[in-house]
Chain A
Amino acid sequence: MNTPAATGAGVYCGFCGSKNPPGTRFCGSCGRPLGVGAAAPATTPPRYGPATTPRLISGRLWIWFLGGGTALFLIVVMAALGVLLSPTPPALCREPCNPPPPTSPALPPPMQYTSAAYGYSLEYYLAPTVQDSKTIRWVFNGTWSYGFTAEPAQGRSAQQVAEQIKQSQFSDAAFVFQIPAAGLGYNAGYGAVYDLTISGGTGQTAHARLLLIVSVKKGLAIEMIALGPYQQQTGGHPNPAATKLPRMSGVVNSVVFPGDAPE
Chain B
Amino acid sequence: MSGPPPAKRRRPRSAEEPGDVAPPPSARVGGGDAEVDLVTCFNCGRSVPSGEYCGSCGAHLVSQSTSGARRQHAFAADPGEHVLHLTFVSTLLPHLPHRSSLPFRIGFLVLGGLLVALGLVRLTGPAIALASVGVLVLYLLYLYEVEVYEDEPILVLAVTVLLGLILGAAWAYFTGPSITQDRILNITLGPSAATVFVPGVLLPLLAQLLMLAGATVMYTRRHFDETLDGFSFGAACALGFTFGSTLVDLFPELQQGPFSNTPAVTNALQIVQHGLLIPVINASTTGLIAGALWLRRGKVRAEARGLPTSLAVAIAVAVLVQAGRGVTSVLATSTLTEVLVYAVVALALLVWVRVALHHMLLAEAVEVPVGPPTECSHCHRIVPRMAFCPNCGIATRATPKTGAGRMARGVR
Contact = CB atoms under 8 A, between A and B. Distances in A.
B62 A26 contact: no
9 contacts: A26-B26, A45-B51, A50-B380, A51-B380, A58-B145, A82-B258, A198-B184, A204-B177, A204-B248
Interface stretch (B72-80, B133-141, B219-227, B290-298): B133-141
Interface stretch (B87-95, B122-130, B232-240): B122-130
A51 B47 contact: no
Interface in B135-191: 137-138, 140-141, 144-145, 172, 175-177, 179-185, 187-189
Given A1-B3, A75-B125, A143-B185, A42 B254 contact: no
Contacts of A32: 4, 7, 46-47
Interface of B: 2-4, 6-7, 9-10, 12-13, 19-21, 23-27, 29-32, 34, 36-42, 46-47, 50-52, 56, 61-62, 64, 97, 99-100, 102-103, 123-126, 128-130, 132-134, 137-138, 140-141, 144-145, 172, 175-177, 179-185, 187-189, 199-200, 203-204, 248-258, 260-263, 266-267, 270, 273-274, 277-278, 325-326, 328-330, 332-336, 338, 342, 369-370, 375-376, 379-384, 386, 390-391, 402, 404
A130 to B, nearest CB: 6
B125 A203 contact: no
A139 B185 CA distance: 9
B402 to A, nearest CB: 7
Interface string A196-214: 0111111111111000000
B381 A50 contact: yes
Contact of B176 (A82, A87, A169, A203): A203
Nearest to B29: A48
A31 B252 contact: no
B334 A225 contact: no
A15 interface: yes
Contacts of B188: 137, 139, 145, 147, 169, 225, 227
A4 B25 CA distance: 18
Interface string A24-50: 111111111100111111111111111
A197 B261 contact: yes
A85 B38 CA distance: 71
Contacts of A169: 187-188, 333
A121 B133 CA distance: 53
A71 interface: yes
Contact of B52 (A45, A58, A64, A137): A45
A165 B91 CA distance: 43
Contacts of A111: none
B140 A67 contact: yes
Interface stretch (A90-98, A170-178, A247-255): A170-178
A195 interface: yes
A133 interface: no
A142 interface: yes
Contacts of B46: 31-32
B103 A56 contact: yes
A200 B20 contact: no
Interface of A: 1-2, 15-16, 18, 21, 23-33, 36-58, 60, 63-64, 67-68, 70-71, 74-83, 85-87, 129-130, 137, 139, 142-145, 147, 168-172, 174, 195, 197-208, 225, 227, 230
Given A39-B47, A79-B258, A25 B27 contact: yes
Given A26-B26, A51-B380, A87-B257, A205 B250 contact: yes
Contact of B38 (A36, A52, A70, A174): A36
**The 10 nearest A-B residue pairs measured at CB:** A204-B176, A49-B30, A86-B257, A203-B179, A82-B125, A25-B24, A78-B125, A48-B381, A49-B31, A78-B129
Given A203-B199, A204-B179, A46 B50 contact: yes
Contacts of A30: 7, 9-10
Contacts of A201: 273-274, 277-278, 325-326, 328-329, 338, 342
Contacts of A225: 188
A79 B273 contact: no
Given A25-B26, A54-B380, 14 more contacts: A25-B27, A39-B38, A39-B40, A40-B39, A46-B29, A75-B125, A75-B126, A79-B258, A145-B185, A170-B187, A174-B263, A197-B270, A199-B262, A201-B328
Given A39-B40, A70-B137, A172-B263, A21 B21 contact: yes
Contacts of B30: 46-49
B165 to A, nearest CB: 13
Contact of A25 (B3, B25, B369): B25
Contacts of B267: 197
Contacts of B32: 49
Given A26-B26, A85-B254, A49 B370 contact: no
Nearest to B328: A201
Contacts of A68: 137
Contacts of A170: 187, 333
From A46, A50, A56, A144, residue with most partner B Cβ within 10 Å: A46
A174 B258 contact: no
B376 to A, nearest CB: 8
B257 A77 contact: no
A7 B7 CA distance: 23
Given A51-B380, A79-B126, A139-B185, A26 B39 contact: no
Contact of B40 (A38, A74, A130, A202): A38
B201 to A, nearest CB: 11
